[in-house]
Amino acid sequence: MAQNDGLDFEAPIVELERKITELENFSNIAEVDLSEEIKKLHARANKLKGEIYKNLSPWQRVQLARHPKRPLTTDFINLMFTDFYELHGDRTFRDDKAIVSGFAKIDNHKVMIVGTRRGKTTRERIYCNFGSPHPEGYRKAMLKMKLAEKFHLPIIALINTPGAYPGIGAEERGQALVIARNLFEMSRLRTPIICVVIGEGGSGGALAIGIGDKFAMLENAYFSVISPEGCSAILWRDGSKAPDAAKALKLTAQDLIKLGIIDEIIPEPLGGAHRDSKKTADSFKKVLVRYLTELKGIPLDTLLENRYAKYRQMGQFLEQPAEAVKSLKHKQPINK
Amino acid sequence: MGWDGLKKFVFHRRKEMPDGLWMKCDSCGNLVHKKVVEEKLRACPECNFHFSLTSSERIALLLDEGNLEEYWGDLESIDPLKFSDRISYKKKTADAQEKTGLKDAFVVGKGRLGGIEVIFGVMDSRFIMASMGSVVGEKVTRAAEKAAELKIPLIIVSASGGARMQEGCFSLMQMAKTSAAMARLHESGGLYISILTNPTTAGVMASFAALGDIMIAEPKALIGFTGPRVIAQTIGQELPPGFQTSEFLLERGMIDRIIDRQHLKEELIKILEYCT
């Protein structure tokens, strides 16, 4: 059954919803009026959702971000934009299906979309390499962004990736160098850039299309320097400590807005985006249109100054006000 | 060699080891004479693998009179996430500080190579694998800004395990910040030489270390995005020999040159003379 896709902590809600559907079906078939009971059950389900979703742990958010029914980049393209016109290829190696890019319209704004693509069915997932781009994918994204710059189209980056692909071919074709190049170029592209993490924001592979003037996250997305599993394996030396790692890494939208890393949290319907993609897309679209209107009014030089300043101030450290400059003599050559 | 002879030989060798005259090469596994390794500026006489240098050794090796006018030497991490795994990040930092005498993993300042003034930065892998947190990111950024301001070249010797997990997204954002700073330096017309040493991977290789106008590597260094163990796990097969080494990168067109440590300074001066 499709309910198998659900998460552990969702189970009571799923169970209740199953009962409601059963009752509804029964009342239709038997032609008895059960509307009172059904109404009560709906109320109970809503209360339960409120209780469960108000206090999600970071690990539960990670699970929601990875929910198999969660709307994907392609869903949001369909729900928020019109006239999507896909453009392929990196002009060098091949068309990376883990990146989707092209022209689109949102209200009366013409934009360029770049995003990581994943699938719903196993076949689609394999086709998109589970949303993990290779170097050619990042090059493809950069080419389309340069095109957008040339024709003054704002860029909307939709991010949902477990990370850049860790494989032999990816390393052979310079995964690290290509990511670095994207960070370098995005910091100075002369057109507005809006980035939104819609699901997983996996480290450098997410950042590689994630430098912009606005950076938002959906309510149950996460954005992290390393996956909770990876962090747990390295620092705890125990792969099962992922929930602890998720908490320690401060990777939820709620944590990241407090730390000043992101600009805004885009609300999801109670129970998560997968419970109502349409509703999620509605609030999402409003935010995008607001950003586009705001950014269009800013002169490009100012926009780029602000973008540099935004990233320039990120980081926390201690600096002693005392002697800022001191001379160090390194007297011992190592070959002596 | 009969048994007695063999026993004598083995015994003889074993007796010499504790004296610290010999060491095992991390790369080829051969026992090599320490004195010869030192004469080759810490390179293996058998396979030419280049062992790690500390930041002060690197400064002594490359800068005129081994002299660095250090900048921002007092920047320290403040543990922004109050991070703790099996050991707290605070303790890890304190231990590394005590062990190295450094505040964090990156030392930077102004010095001269062959009389040419440069901003020179070097990562010290003894300090939490020279991972990049807020301090490293800030100092790399300031170094790029300083080089642009003074209109002198920037040289950075990298060696790092990547972003510092214990600072979460602050570390990730240092990739963005340092890359943006390199873009500005580039726009100002400044020269940036990036020197990759063993190992330079992940968040550092995927940001400022990859953005040099000139990209140099020491022989046999491990350089890449994902660590080899994770790749082998992901794809479920063994990695080809020489995968992710300097030689692998040169072959695939990712770097300009591999330079032996013994010739590094003279070649850097040559490049500086062309580009200044």
As a whole number, the mean pLDDT across chain B is: 92
Residue carrying structure tokens 């007796």: B15
pLDDT in tens, A20-40: 888 888 888 888 888 888 888
pLDDT of residue A6: 67
| Percent of residues, chain A, with pLDDT higher than 90 | 76
Taking the C-alpha atoms of residue B243 and residue B142, their distance in angstroms, rounded to an integer, is 34
Model confidence at B166: pLDDT above 60: yes
> What does pTM read for this prediction?
0.91
pLDDT of residue A5: 60
Q: Which candidate in B71, B141, B172 is best for mutational testing of the A interface (most A CBs within 10 A)?
A: B172
Residue B141, judged by CB atoms within 10 A of its CB (0-12, 13-18, 19+), counts as buried
Taking the C-alpha atoms of residue A61 and residue A108, their distance in angstroms, rounded to an integer, is 34
Taking chain A (336 residues) in consecutive chunks of 10 residues, what is each chunk's mean pLDDT? 63 87 86 85 87 90 95 97 97 97 97 97 95 98 98 98 95 97 98 98 97 98 95 88 95 96 96 94 98 97 98 93 46 44
pLDDT of residue B128: 96
Q: Write the CB contacts of A30 (distance below 8 Å, at least 6 apart in sequence).
A: none
pLDDT in tens, A109-167: 999 999 999 999 999 999 999 999 999 999 999 999 999 999 999 999 999 999 999 99
Residues on chain B touching A164 (C-beta within 8 angstroms): 225-226
pLDDT in tens, A213-230: 999 999 999 999 999 999
DSSP character for A270? Answer: T
Please give the domain boundaries of chain B with CATH numbers for all domains.
Answer: 1-49 (no CATH), 51-275 (3.90.226.10)
Taking the C-alpha atoms of residue B215 and residue A237, their distance in angstroms, rounded to an integer, is 34
Taking the C-alpha atoms of residue B104 and residue A150, their distance in angstroms, rounded to an integer, is 42
At B145, list the tokens. 């800004």
Residues on chain B touching A318 (C-beta within 8 angstroms): 75-78
Taking the C-alpha atoms of residue A232 and residue A246, their distance in angstroms, rounded to an integer, is 9
Q: Could you give the C-alpha distances from A74 to A71, A165, A269, A280, A295, in angstroms and in order?
A: 8, 20, 19, 14, 24
Subunit contact B69:A327, Cβ cutoff 8 A: yes
Residue A188, judged by CB atoms within 10 A of its CB (0-12, 13-18, 19+), counts as middle
Subunit contact B85:A317, Cβ cutoff 8 A: no
pLDDT of residue A307: 98
For the residues B11-32, what does the mean pLDDT come to? Answer: 72
Subunit contact A261:B169, Cβ cutoff 8 A: yes
Banded model confidence at residue B6, pLDDT cuts 50, 70, 90: very low
pLDDT of residue A17: 87
Taking the C-alpha atoms of residue A241 and residue B165, their distance in angstroms, rounded to an integer, is 15
Q: Could you give the C-alpha distances from A248 to A228, A251, A289, B79, in angstroms and in order?
A: 9, 8, 34, 12
If you count them, how many residues does chain A have?
336
Q: Across the strands, what pairs with A159?
A: A197
In terms of Cα–Cα distance, which of A116, A259, A315 is closest to A200?
A116
pLDDT of residue B15: 43
Q: Write the CB contacts of A102 (distance below 8 Å, at least 6 apart in sequence).
A: A84, A85, A86, A87, A112, A113, A144
Taking the C-alpha atoms of residue A32 and residue A312, their distance in angstroms, rounded to an integer, is 66
